[in-house]
Amino acid sequence: MLTSCPADPVLKYCLPLPFRELAPGWLRGRARLRHNGRSISCRHLSMLIRPRQPFDFHRTLKFILSPPAQASGRKFEPLLDHFEEDEYRRVVEFDGEQVLYGVREEGRALKVRILAGPSNSGTQTAVRQLVERQFSASLDLAAFYRRVASDPVLSRLTRHFRGLRIPQSPNIFAAVVSAILDQQVNLAFAFKVKKALVECYGGHVERQGRRYFAFPSPGALAILSPRDLRKIQISGPKARYIIAIARDALDGRLDLEGLRGEEPAAAHARLLEQKGIGPWTAFFVGLLALSHLDALPSGDVGLQSAIHAFYGLGRRPSPARVERLAQNWSGWRSYATFYLWLTYWETPQWRKEFILQLRGGQYARKRSLAKS
């Protein structure tokens, strides 16, 4: 059932936002209130977020919505994240109730609205804060670009991916479980297992004949046995890890949302205390759920391969060599890693042409040094 707004919804909701952005809606709302003599549903009020520039909504969505290009050409259907009618949509849970929200770009702003579920002022505020965090709206990305301006590879990548943010998972528990399911399996199998998990144990919202799923809550998974998860092809060890983490999160032994307020090193260490979470998984959660800006997975094969291909190295670098190279990215090593990873989302032809451009630049620099 939808809940109604407080007695004065426009005043209560709009005052925290810049008047110049909301004045037309304010005046129209007041006119309707006086003319019709009834209150306006909060569902008809949209929230505006003005991300710090540079910001590229559609490039960021590409990472959220699409896996890397598959050699087989296979495409995956939407699971939790949807793009419909020029709007990004996802279901989240607040206080045990499912909420479907939508985000679309209007000019240089993001327009956020609740499409289904409770729409009271508390939920509106929670959704707005979630979207600001999910799209890293307040981050000064220009500082990252200045930091790597002298790097021959990243300076080019920041121009190509300009405005692209690291999207943050709306749900830390979902990020942890997804990272565990991704361990040591191919992308297609991981998607199949996550789809089964979500459809078997996740909540959902119905809207206009469509069903939108939410990721299973800790409570939904904590009551399961490993045998239950084995039925959807989750391995025995992973099933035990996931159930244990769900139970720890449910009874308060593991405060995943509280990790947002901890220093990155402390949050990383806390994650490593959990069985099933190793250094790579902890890095992944820090990158895509905790907004850690300066982490480096120096042992990641994908990062090593990208460095090997783009920096003209004779062989794939060791973790120690990755760490030496990354000293030039200090303060922004998570973003440097992310932009290098993003090259796998591009076509093979793009990567080939990019390498040729880099080699041309390297050749020109060598000639310049030789003349001097």
pLDDT digits (tens, 9 = 90+) for 25-40: 333 333 333 333 333 3
Residue 20 has pLDDT above 80, yes or no: no
**Which is the catalytic residue, given 8, 81, 294, 300?**
300
pLDDT at 22: 38
Mark whether 300 is an active-site residue.
yes
pLDDT at 371: 47
Residue 7 banded pLDDT, cuts 50, 70, 90: very low
pLDDT at 45: 67
Residue 47 has pLDDT above 90, yes or no: yes
Summary mean pLDDT of the chain? 85
pLDDT at 8: 34
pLDDT at 12: 34
Mean predicted confidence (pLDDT) in 152-164? 96
Mean predicted confidence (pLDDT) in 252-280? 95
Query: How far does CA 355 lie from the centroid of its chain?
Result: 28
pLDDT at 362: 58
Q: Is the omega angle on the peptide bond into residue 170 within 30 degrees of 0, that is, cis?
A: no
* pLDDT, tens digit, 9 for 90 and up, residues 321-360: 999 999 999 999 999 999 999 998 888 899 999 999 998 8
pLDDT at 342: 92
* pLDDT, tens digit, 9 for 90 and up, residues 317-332: 999 999 999 999 999 9
Beta partners for residue 106, in sequence order? 109
Residue 57 has pLDDT above 60, yes or no: yes
pLDDT at 73: 56
d(CA 168, CA 137): 11
Residue 83 has pLDDT above 50, yes or no: yes
Query: Degrees (nearest 5) of the Cα angle 56, 142, 179?
Result: 60
Q: What percent of the chain has pLDDT over 90?
A: 75
Residue 370 has pLDDT above 50, yes or no: no
d(CA 188, CA 135): 26
User: Contact at 8 Å (CB) between 89 and 9?
Assistant: no
pLDDT at 368: 45
pLDDT at 69: 53
Mean predicted confidence (pLDDT) in 77-92? 93
pLDDT at 67: 65
Residue 198 banded pLDDT, cuts 50, 70, 90: very high
